[in-house]
Structure 1
C-alpha cells in the first residue's frame, strides 16, 4: 500500500478545489456565512439566487466530506506503510507528530489567511483516530455508533434551534449586525485588523471546527474501512460490485437528500451540510473511481491529480489568492459581484491553482508546504539517527 493510488490523488484534487467552491461565497460576502444556514428565499424567483443555490447544491459540504474521507484513507495507508517498512515502533507517534505540525500550520493559516480553516480540526481528529484504529473492531464499531448518534442528535437540535431563532426578528437582526461588523472589518480594515479580529474571537470562529470533530472521526473511520475492506481493489469482482452499490447509494440517496436545501427553511442548510452532504460525498468518490476506470488519461484527471499531489499547498494558496481578490486590503471585490461573477472567479482561481501544481511538479516531487511538512515530520527520526551515529 506504499504506492500512490491514482484515483485518490484525483479525488483529493477535486476536493481541494471543491472546498473553494463553498468558501468562495464566504470570501465574496466578506466573512458572511449566512448562506450555509439556509433561507426563506424562494430561489426560483431570481436567476442569480437560483444560480447560487444550484452551485452550492453540488459544492456545499460535499467536497469537505470527501476530503475528510480521503484523510482517513491516507491515515490507514500511512499506517500500513510503517508496518511494511518495519517501522511499527514509530506508529502512531511519528504520525501524531505530523498532526501536531498540521495543527500549528492550521492555526497560522486560520490567523493570517482564513477564519474557516479546517486543518486544525483534521489535526485533532487525526490524533484521536490514530489511537482508535489500534483498538479491536468491536470497540471501533461501538465508538462509531456512539459518535454517529451524538452527531445526528446534535445536528437535529442545532437545525431546530436555527429554525426557531431565525424566525424571531430580533435574533435575525442581531445575527445580521454581527455579520455586518465582520464584513466592515474585512472591507475597510487593514490586513492586521483582520488578524487581530480573528485572534480576538478565536473560540467563536473556531466553533464549527470543534463541533464537526465527531463527524470528522466518523468519516476518518469510514476512510480507514474503505482501505481495510479492499473496496478499491481493481481485480476483485466483489469490490467492483460493492463500488457500484456505494455509487448508487451515494447518488440515488444523496441527491434527493441534498436537494432539500431548495426548501425555504432555515434548518435545511444545517441538515444538508452536516448530515446529508457526506452521503453525496461517497457518491462523488465512487463516481471518480468509475470515470477514472473508463478514461484514465483524461486531461482534467491529470490536472486534478497534480492538485491532489500538492493538496496542502494548493489549499493554502487558493485561500491566499481569494483573500487578495476579495478583501479590502487587496482588490476589494467583496460585496460587488453577482452570483455568476463569483462562480467565474472561482473557476479562474481553479485554473491558476492547476497551473501552479502542473508547473511545480515538473521540478519537484511534492508541493512546497508538503516538502517542508515532510522534512519536519521526519526530524525526530533524523535527530535520533544522528545521535546513534555520534
Structure 2
C-alpha cells in the first residue's frame, strides 16, 4: 500500500458521504490487496535489514552466495517490483470506487478525494521520517492527486495515457544504461568508502542517529526520485488500475478462460524480460550499466507478471467466497494500510538500534524467517481484529480524517 486502502463499491443513492461498509466490498479486490501486502514484505525486508546499496547492487554487501543467493534470486524474479505494481494498480482501482460511491453525496467527490489524499500524505510523511525512508504512501498521495483527474476516461484512454507515463522513466533508464556502458562502473552502483559502515552504525545507534540517515534518503525520494521516476510510473500504474477495474478485470467479471490466457501471457512475457535482465547483469559481472539495464528490464517484466498474478487471484476467487486462504488474505486486504505500517513498526524494532539492533546482521535466509513470522502474526491479528471491529485502526483514522467525523 499503501499501500493503499481501497474502499468498497457503494453505488446506492446516499445523500451524505460515509465510509464504505464491509458488506459492500469486493472480495477479490480485498484478497488481491492482502496478497500484495504479504508480497511487498519480501522486498521491503531487505531495506529494513541491510544497507541501501545491498538492494541496488547485492554484490556490494555480504550474503550473496549459497542459499542467500537463491533467496535473492527468488525474491528478484517473483517479487521485486511485482507486488508494488499490484499495490499501485489497486490504489488506482480504489480511486474509481471512491469517486463512484460519492457521486450522489452532497459534498463534492473530488473534495473528499483530496481530503483523503491529504490525510494519507500526513500519515506517509510521519512514516517516512519517523520510521522508514522506504515509505510509499507519500508517493501514492502525490500520484493519486494526479491520477484522479483522469478517472472518468474510458479504459482504452486510461491504458494509453498510463502506458505513456510508465514509458517515460523506463526509456530514460534504458538510455542511461547504454550511455554508461554495460561494462562500465557507476557511482550509484557502488558504495563510497565507509558509507556502508556509517549506515550500519546509524541504524544500530539511537533513534536520532537513524533519523539523520533516514532524513537524507527520504528527502531524495520525495524530490529528485519522485520527479524523475516514481511519479511517472506509479501514476501510470494507477491509471491502469482504473482501466482494469472499469473493464471488469479486477471485479472478476471476465471468464476463467480469459484469466487463464492472461496468466500464461503475463508470465511468459514478464519472466522473459526478468530473465533477460538477469542474464545481462551476471554476464557483465554486475557492472554499473548492466545493473541499470537489469533494473529497467525487470521493471518492464514486472508489469506483465503483476497482470499474471492479478489474473491468477481472480481465477482462484471466481466462484469462491470462503476458505482459509480467502479469509486470511481478505482480512489482511481490508486492513491493508494498518498492516503495511505494522510491518514497518515490527521490522524496524527488530533491526534498528532502539530495538534489537540487528541491522546488517541477518543473512537473507534468516530475513526470510522474519518475513514468515510477521506474516503469521499479521494473518492472526487481522482476522481477530475484524471479528470485533469494522475497520483497521489506521483505516479508521484515515476515514475519520476524510469525512471529518470523529464520533
Q: Same fold (TM over 0.5)?
A: yes
Deviations 1:36-75 (A, max 9, x none): 346599x996332122222332111111001001111111
CA–CA distance in structure 2, aligned partners of residues 192 and 348 of structure 1:
28
> What is the match of residue 387 of structure 1?
none
Question: Which of 327, 347, 356 does residue 352 from structure 2 map onto?
Answer: 327
- 8 A contact 1:70–1:220 mirrored in 2: yes
CA–CA distance in structure 2, aligned partners of residues 259 and 295 of structure 1:
34
Does 2:132 align with 1:114? yes
> What is the match of residue 131 of structure 1?
149
- 8 A contact 2:43–2:80 mirrored in 1: yes
Question: Which of 374, 393, 397 does residue 368 from structure 1 map onto?
Answer: 393
Does 2:274 align with 1:258? yes
TM-score, length-scaled by structure 1: 0.86
Query: Whose helix proportion is higher, 1 or 2?
Result: 1
Unaligned runs of 5+ in 2: 1-8, 11-23
- 8 A contact 2:53–2:190 mirrored in 1: no
User: Relative to structure 1, is the Cα distance of residues 295 and 176 closer, same or farther in structure 2, using a 3 angstrom cutoff?
Assistant: farther
> What is the match of residue 32 of structure 1?
52
> What is the match of residue 299 of structure 2?
274
CA–CA distance in structure 1, aligned partners of residues 251 and 161 of structure 2:
27
- 8 A contact 2:128–2:135 mirrored in 1: yes
> What is the match of residue 308 of structure 1?
333
Deviations 1:273-324 (A, max 9, x none): 4322122111111111112226543312211111100000000011110001
Report the CA distance between 1:140 and its aligned residue: 4.8
Q: How many pairs does the alignment contain?
A: 373
Question: Which of 347, 362, 366 does residue 341 from structure 1 map onto?
Answer: 366
Report the CA distance between 1:88 and its aligned residue: 7.4
User: Relative to structure 1, is the Cα distance of residues 142 and 355 closer, same or farther in structure 2, using a 3 angstrom cutoff?
Assistant: closer
User: Relative to structure 1, is the Cα distance of residues 233 and 32 closer, same or farther in structure 2, using a 3 angstrom cutoff?
Assistant: closer
> What is the match of residue 218 of structure 1?
236
CA–CA distance in structure 1, aligned partners of residues 302 and 276 of structure 2:
11
Deviations 1:177-212 (A, max 9, x none): 43432222112x201221233334542243445521
> What is the match of residue 29 of structure 2?
8
CA–CA distance in structure 1, aligned partners of residues 363 and 215 of structure 2:
30
> What is the match of residue 153 of structure 1?
171
Question: Which of 45, 51, 67 does residue 87 from structure 2 map onto?
Answer: 67
TM-score, length-scaled by structure 2: 0.82
